[in-house]
């Protein structure tokens, strides 16, 4: 199967694009949310070495209904729904992005798997060897936690996500914020990972989302004993979408 097609994941803050030739993911890129429908889609020259307007099959998953509506009239449009995803026991309001990432993780790295998506929200999603959703957790993403302190308080500064972990015990406000958020989040995630591996010792732990690489680096700097179980893969959602496209 060599047909070209486009995968579009409409996230909370950005559009995530994937260009496929059959089952091969050739390029990925992100853009801002749109304010109006663009037809046909112009694929970026710097990715595809082409500046033509192409009308290709478009497979869409979305967590933002207003953005989804912009694509309803696109030719050869396919909207992924939760019931399309071949995982058991998914609850009705689970995010399509979480479900697709879990499917993609299992398809690429085998089930069972635990997916940690470090995006706008930080989510954990566990699937067992029978492709059954076991459960998970949702908390504010790393950047959202930093931003919330500066926007909801009068005196605390806005701090960018640091590249390095600092000393745990801080002696100034900025470091206290950084350490309070990062060490608490890392400790919390570790408890989920450790509990999951106690139940499913052969499971892979997949990190995905915009802050996945940085989260992995924090675990590495903190000498996490389960570091070798962690895999960073930013394309889990696209692997999930690919498996659905092949089934069509």
Place of tokens 């912009």: 70
Cβ burial of 92 (10 Å; 0-12, 13-18, 19+) is exposed
Residue 84 catalytic? no
Q: Read out DSSP for 58-120?
A: EEEEES-HHHHHTTTT-TTEEE--GGGS--BT--TTS-HHHHHHHHHHHHHH-SSEEEEEESS
- Active-site hit among 30, 51, 97, 195: 97
Q: Which residue bears the tokens 């959202």?
A: 144
How far is it, in rounded angstroms, from Cα 57 to Cα 245?
10
The answer to whether residues 136 and 154 touch, using CB atoms and an 8 Å cutoff, is: no
Q: What is the dihedral of CA 40, 1, 78, 134, to 10 degrees?
A: -140
- Residues facing residue 41 across a β-bridge: 54
- CA-wise closest residue to 33 among 98, 110, 120: 120
User: Which phi and psi (to 5°) does residue 145 adopt?
Assistant: -65, -40
123 exposed, middle or buried (CB, 10 Å; 0-12, 13-18, 19+)?
A: buried
- Catalytic annotation, residues: 97
């Amino acid at each position: 199967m060599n047909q070209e097609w486009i995968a579009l994941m409409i996230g909370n803050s950005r559009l995530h694009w994937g260009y496929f030739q059959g089952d091969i993911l050739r390029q990925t890129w992100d853009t801002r949310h749109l304010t109006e429908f663009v037809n046909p889609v112009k694929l970026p020259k710097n990715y595809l070495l082409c500046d033509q307007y192409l009308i290709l099959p478009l497979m869409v998953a979305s967590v933002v209904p207003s953005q989804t509506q912009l694509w309803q009239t696109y030719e050869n449009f396919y909207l992924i729904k939760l019931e399309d995803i071949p995982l058991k026991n998914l609850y009705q309001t689970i995010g399509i992005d979480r479900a697709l990432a879990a499917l993609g993780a299992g398809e690429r790295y085998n089930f069972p798997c635990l997916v940690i998506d470090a995006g706008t929200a930080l989510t954990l999603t566990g699937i067992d060897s029978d492709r059954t959703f076991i459960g998970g957790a949702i908390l504010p993403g790393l950047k959202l936690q930093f931003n919330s302190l500066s926007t909801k308080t009068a005196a605390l500064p806005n701090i960018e996500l640091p590249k390095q972990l600092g000393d745990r015990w801080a002696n100034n406000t900025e470091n206290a914020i950084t350490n309070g958020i990062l060490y608490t989040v890392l400790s919390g995630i570790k408890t989920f990972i450790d509990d999951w591996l106690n139940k499913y010792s052969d499971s892979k732990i997949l990190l995905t989302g915009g802050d996945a690489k940085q989260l992995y680096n924090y675990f590495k700097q903190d000498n996490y004993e389960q570091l070798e179980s962690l895999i960073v893969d930013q394309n889990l959602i696209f692997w999930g979408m690919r498996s659905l496209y092949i089934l069509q």
